[in-house]
Structure 1
Amino acid sequence: MEIKLRPGDTLWYYSQLFMVPLNLILDSNPSVNPNKLAVSETIQIPGFESQVHQIKQGDTLWKIAGARNISIDSILLLNQQLNPNQLKIGEEILIPNRIVGRFVQGKKKYDYTSLQSDMNRLIKAFPFIKKETIGKSVLGKNLDEIRIGKGKKKVHINASFHANEWITTGILMTFLNDFLLSLTNGTTMRNVRTMPLYQGTDLSLVPMVNPDGVDLVLNGPLEKEKEKIISINEGSSDFTGWKANIRGVDLNNQFPANWEIEKERKEPKAPAPRDYPGDSPLSEPESQVMANIVEKEKFDRLVALHTQGKEFYWGYEGMEPEESRAIAEEFSRVSGYKAIQNVDSHAGYKDWFIQELRKPGFTIELGKGINPLPLSQFNEIYQETTGLFLASLYM
């Protein structure tokens, strides 16, 4: 919510007026110098939105404020030309409204358009988070990263590496929405105070690594791509089993961690709906983007969301650090998922991350069944994994 600074006001006063932590207001206004505020300067108040109220017979600011449990001055702040003693029936004024409910409705066929819409709404409502386009997919869709928090520990979480595992994006975005609501409303998640997590962590999220593939599974191919895609899909127009990117390359078999072994033993030797590791490691723009962000940011921890199996993998060729074991034990405790140290697999994002940085990396297999998992599992998966998300920040 945008407001205009009045003479004598401070950001501390706005923190008290709206009952929003001062650090969130400061982080929502990075270009504002709190010691040199200018009258009429625009200030963003996170966790609020302005709503239009039409004055009715008998309305007073006292009645309006009381009905909404807000202060009269918060109304005056949004309506600085308003004479509170001369309200006119039919006149429209702005009312600050605290956001307490989710914007994100993750329990649906969550495609690229849904993601873009939800990210934009969250950024507007919670401007202490930032979005950056870190690359493009084969078809030119944005690969966006969300950053939240100012802490020293750098944690990265991603979703939808595989196209028919799109439910992971809705799960991750729902967690983000709930985390933001907890921060601005001063509530806990699973009895965990979230402000210390915000202050101690620099969280990076890439909610949809493979947007072209997700849209293919959910919406079908674009007309100009249709013939080629159906050919890769062995003549079928049923794309529910498609895991690869739009060029038929499995993005989670693209990383230079014994890639040659996977290339040799994977059955597809040409573009396919799943399992084809490409002609060379990092041949695809999406895998290049995900490698670049690790090389640039040197994350302390990585969590990759996949489906299915209610288990997770946390080792790679003995290169994982000792702290990975304690984190894995906590992940298992809070989620009920089985912790598996080693699995006969190479060339995955988590594998390469551990190999390159020798830091904790995890591949989480959400839910159980046949991909794509049905939306009927959404609530159960979210309940199982919320504690895991939190643990990735506090461990």
Structure 2
Amino acid sequence: MTFSYVTQHNDTWFRIARRYGVSTSALFCCNPRLREHAYIYPGQIIQIPLHPEAGYVIQAGDTLPDIAWRLQISPGCLTAANPGVDPLSPCVGQTIKLPAGDGAEIVDTKREYGYVELMEDIRCLRTKYPFLQVKTIGQSVLGRDIPAIRLGSGPKRMHFNGSFHANEWITTLLLMKFIEQYAHAYDHRQLLRGRNVTELFAQTSLWVVPLVNPDGVELVHTGAVPDPVQHKQLVRWNHGSLDFTGWKANIRGVDLNDQFPAYWEEEKQRRAADGPGPRDYTGAHALSEPEARAMADFTSEHDFDMVIAFHTQGQEIYWNYRDMEPPASESIAKRFAKASRYRAIKLHASDAGYKDWFILQFRRPGFTVEAGIGVNPLPLSQFRSAYDDVIGLMLEALVI
């Protein structure tokens, strides 16, 4: 048996399946005509198979994260299975649905990852690990918050970021899984890949911006919003294609990693993009986009000692910029290469990137890490191998 569901804004096959505790394959079986459609648009009617989940009656003092922890259910899945229920103040006596237990990990690395998943996981992580500090560093073009997460309180100031490019959204998942494992190891006084996390917390303040480009990442996952003006404009910028899985830019068609005041004019000439599109357009001027301005302001405010921007793909580490990098940068890159099995590369003929601007502005070590190998977007099947490589690099950065 099935029931009808009218799709909403931001829905995807993965998100609907998770919300109702069914598999995507079960959804496709019930909706064979839609199986080949990459995107779901608001207002479509789809059929969802009935799934008899177990129930739980809310007791005084319960929260959904607490229940999830006790019952070994993902907090994200429990929250998604109970839309409309306040995760921190559910009504006593209310019966909630319990999706199948899948362990107590919050960040699910087996499904596509976008802004919706990010914000849900941040909320759950803050509940589970109250020592995490979260702040908003700015908003995207469409008004989505850009969150930053702090781990540790030491004097050494470090920064990681991901998803400057929309189709590189797996970098957000890499960073969020690292945050979860790092916080768990600290909370339980455990080693993480042989590193003493308690000592790292005392030595280093790590700020992570997991998702710099929220509008672009959502465009990759959900397709163009079916607003007549925006939809037509985005499809035109995408060379007439309705497939946005290869889109790198923000929602205004600007490549955010070509936005920084580090020989921006030369990068504009090199790219030779005449207007907005899925990639390579540098914008009307440096820092024209709110996401890039937020990153520049955030970086200047915190005066970081070192930054690493995570991209995909190539299994390479870029460490230089126009010979302005400090002498230690090359040796640090070689340490990263040893920890990750990636190659340290001296890059030429590239300007206006976040790493480039950081080196130019502060004359401190800045790096771009190209995780994974193949083509963008990297498939989720590569997550485990990419994570095994970059977690060593991340931890190495914290001890330098």
Residue ranges of structure 2 left out of the alignment (5+ in a row):
1-64, 71-102
Preserved contact between residue 233 and residue 239 of structure 1 (Cα < 8 Å)? yes
- 1:123 maps to 126
Q: How far does residue 189 in structure 1 lie from its aligned partner after superposition?
A: 1.4
Q: Secondary structure, in 3 states, of the residue corresponding to 1:204? A: strand
Q: How far does residue 219 in structure 1 lie from its aligned partner after superposition?
A: 1.1
- Return the alpha-carbon distance in structure 2 between the equivalents of residues 293 and 52 of structure 1: 34
Please show how residues 56-205 of structure 1 align to structure 2 within 5 Å: 101-205=104-208
Q: Deviations over 1:279-317 (max 9, x none)?
A: 100000000000101111110000000000000100101
Q: Deviations over 1:187-235 (max 9, x none)?
A: 2111111111111111101000000000001111212221111011111
Preserved contact between residue 335 and residue 385 of structure 1 (Cα < 8 Å)? yes
Q: Deviations over 1:122-165 (max 9, x none)?
A: 01110111111111000110101111211001001000000000
Preserved contact between residue 106 and residue 173 of structure 1 (Cα < 8 Å)? no
Q: 1:276 aligns with which of 259, 278, 281?
A: 281
- 2:250 maps to 245
- 2:305 maps to 300
Kindly provide the amino acid, as one letter, of the partner of residue 316 in structure 2.
E
Structure label with greater radius of gyration: 1
- Return the alpha-carbon distance in structure 1 between the equivalents of residues 349 and 313 of structure 2: 17
- Return the alpha-carbon distance in structure 2 between the equivalents of residues 281 and 106 of structure 1: 35
- Return the alpha-carbon distance in structure 2 between the equivalents of residues 382 and 159 of structure 1: 13
Q: Secondary structure, in 3 states, of the residue corresponding to 1:223? A: coil
- Return the alpha-carbon distance in structure 1 between the equivalents of residues 390 and 325 of structure 2: 22
Identity of aligned residues (%): 47
- Return the alpha-carbon distance in structure 2 between the equivalents of residues 107 and 385 of structure 1: 18
Residue ranges of structure 1 left out of the alignment (5+ in a row):
1-47, 54-99
Q: How far does residue 101 in structure 1 lie from its aligned partner after superposition?
A: 4.1
- Return the alpha-carbon distance in structure 1 between the equivalents of residues 135 and 159 of structure 2: 14
TM-score after normalising by structure 1: 0.74
Matched, 1:209 2:209: no
- Return the alpha-carbon distance in structure 2 between the equivalents of residues 363 and 269 of structure 1: 26
- Return the alpha-carbon distance in structure 2 between the equivalents of residues 52 and 265 of structure 1: 52
Q: 1:323 aligns with which of 321, 328, 332?
A: 328
Q: Secondary structure, in 3 states, of the residue corresponding to 2:215? A: helix
Matched, 1:370 2:375: yes
Q: How far does residue 267 in structure 1 lie from its aligned partner after superposition?
A: 2.9
Q: Secondary structure, in 3 states, of the residue corresponding to 2:285? A: coil
Q: How far does residue 173 in structure 1 lie from its aligned partner after superposition?
A: 0.3
Q: Secondary structure, in 3 states, of the residue corresponding to 2:311? A: strand
- 1:358 maps to 363
Worse-superposed segment, 104-113 or 168-177: 104-113
Preserved contact between residue 313 and residue 343 of structure 1 (Cα < 8 Å)? no
- Return the alpha-carbon distance in structure 2 between the equivalents of residues 263 and 51 of structure 1: 50
Preserved contact between residue 230 and residue 236 of structure 1 (Cα < 8 Å)? yes
How many residue pairs were aligned? 302
Preserved contact between residue 273 and residue 280 of structure 2 (Cα < 8 Å)? yes
Q: How far does residue 346 in structure 1 lie from its aligned partner after superposition?
A: 0.3
